Chains A and B, each alone.
Chain A
Amino acid sequence: MRADLLTELNAERAARRAAILVTDIADGAQRLVKEAEIAVDPLGPVLGKHLASAKSGLVEVDGRTLFLTVHVPPVRLVVIGAVHISQAMAPMAAGLDLALSVIDPRTAFATPERFPGVELVAEWPDAVLGSRVPALDRYCALAALTHDPKIDDPALKAALAAGCFYVGALGSRKTHAARVARLTEAGFSPEQIGRIRAPIGLPIGAVSPAEIALAVLGEVVAALRRVPRPEAA
């Protein structure tokens, strides 16, 4: 690979834009196709298909074997609530290659001592999403863990509007019923609201904060790997 292509590819990744590297495996000839260029590329349809599934693979074009390395933006995990579950989740998320941001306006919870090495923002979610914390997008997972509608709801609304691939909210069925009523009142459709995973997490009988963190992360990974990604805009 040419060093300039590698630099260009890493720049696209850093900017959270998808790109596909096309390699002729017979001679190693390569070119980089950025997300915005796919529509006008000669290989547009096949590239679009691979981007939609986010899967790399070999394709045969005009007797040549090409390998498509599909790069979609690194997955981010935004957690609302600097709570005990989030503390347990931080090292697990790092191991799973999920870039974690924890947002909680309650400064007693959001202390660096409780979250060493974690991007921690002691502000209201609606005040920082899109500024101090990059705007949510479809390569983001959002987990709302505060139990407090004042803090959780604005983040859930932003996540649904942004098409996050995973949206989960902590709380009992009763709490969730009240949440559904509030979101309906706010104009969200039943389909949108139905995307919220509640009760949050895979049903593994989780009891401790670390077990709940594991259940949530398991559900995030399942959403990431099993469900086809939405078509590129």
Chain B
Amino acid sequence: MLSTDTDILSAAESWRRDGRAVALATVIETWGSAPRPVGSHLIVDDAGNFLGSVSGGCVEGAVITEAIEVIEAGAPRVLEFGVADETAWRAGLSCGGRIRVFVERVD
């Protein structure tokens, strides 16, 4: 299913109504070449299902992992992703940009 910015927040609401635990990730800052603009959303449920995007697919895996932790812990987090570095364990953006992503639980 193709998801657009329009229906992601509606989906978050309906997921919650269905009793699923949901986290919302939002791109809050970008530097350089970033694939998704500030304000882009990704929603994740506790089973790892997700809708939307915060990058071109480069860091979604890491965001989903962190989002599941946020669902468990409750406190929001700010994640930062930069240029991919083969020596770094974290996911990176191969486009050379940097992004910051705010992850919060939908209570």
Is B102 located at the chain interface by the 8 A CB criterion?
yes
Is A74 located at the chain interface by the 8 A CB criterion?
yes
Contact of A74 among B6, B12, B102, B107 (CB under 8 A): B6
B26 touches A69 (CB 8 A): yes
For the complex formed, measure the closest distance between the CB of B53 and the CB atoms of chain A, giving whole angstroms.
13
Encoded as 1 (CB less than 8 Å from any B CB) or 0, chain A from 1 to 41 comes to 11100110110010000000001010110000000000000
> Considering the chains assembled together, what is the distance between the CA atoms of A58 and B29 in angstroms?
7
Q: A6-B12, A9-B9, A23-B102 are in contact. Are A97 and B39 (CB under 8 A)?
A: no
A58 touches B28 (CB 8 A): yes
> Considering the chains assembled together, what is the distance between the CA atoms of A131 and B35 in angstroms?
39
A residues less than 8 Å from B5 (CB atoms): 97
A28 touches B104 (CB 8 A): yes
Closest to B103 in A: A28
Contact of B107 among A2, A70, A97 (CB under 8 A): A2
Q: A6-B9, A70-B39 are in contact. Are A25 and B107 (CB under 8 A)?
A: no
> Considering the chains assembled together, what is the distance between the CA atoms of A2 and B24 in angstroms?
11
For the complex formed, measure the closest distance between the CB of A94 and the CB atoms of chain B, giving whole angstroms.
8
A13 touches B39 (CB 8 A): no
Contact of B39 among A3, A28, A69, A74 (CB under 8 A): A69
Is B62 located at the chain interface by the 8 A CB criterion?
no
Closest to B4 in A: A97
A25 touches B16 (CB 8 A): no
A-B contact count (CB 8 A): 57
For the complex formed, measure the closest distance between the CB of B101 and the CB atoms of chain A, giving whole angstroms.
11
> Considering the chains assembled together, what is the distance between the CA atoms of A222 and B12 in angstroms?
29
Is A134 located at the chain interface by the 8 A CB criterion?
no
Q: A25-B76, A28-B75 are in contact. Are A67 and B102 (CB under 8 A)?
A: yes
> Considering the chains assembled together, what is the distance between the CA atoms of A3 and B29 in angstroms?
24
Q: Give B residues with C-beta under 8 Å from A.
A: 2, 4-6, 9-10, 12-13, 16, 24, 26, 28-29, 38-39, 75-76, 78, 102, 104-107
Q: Give A residues with C-beta under 8 Å from B.
A: 1-3, 6-7, 9-10, 13, 23, 25, 27-28, 55-58, 67, 69-70, 74, 94-95, 97
**Knowing that A67-B28, A97-B5, A97-B6 are A-B contacts, what are 11 other residue pairs whose CB atoms are under 8 Å apart, sorted by A's residue number?**
A3-B16, A6-B9, A10-B9, A13-B9, A13-B10, A27-B76, A28-B75, A57-B28, A57-B38, A57-B39, A97-B4
**29 residue pairs A–B, Cβ–Cβ below 8 Å:** A1-B24, A1-B105, A3-B13, A3-B16, A3-B106, A6-B12, A6-B13, A9-B9, A10-B9, A13-B6, A13-B10, A23-B104, A25-B28, A25-B76, A25-B78, A28-B104, A55-B38, A56-B28, A57-B28, A57-B38, A58-B28, A58-B29, A67-B28, A69-B26, A69-B39, A70-B39, A95-B2, A97-B4, A97-B5
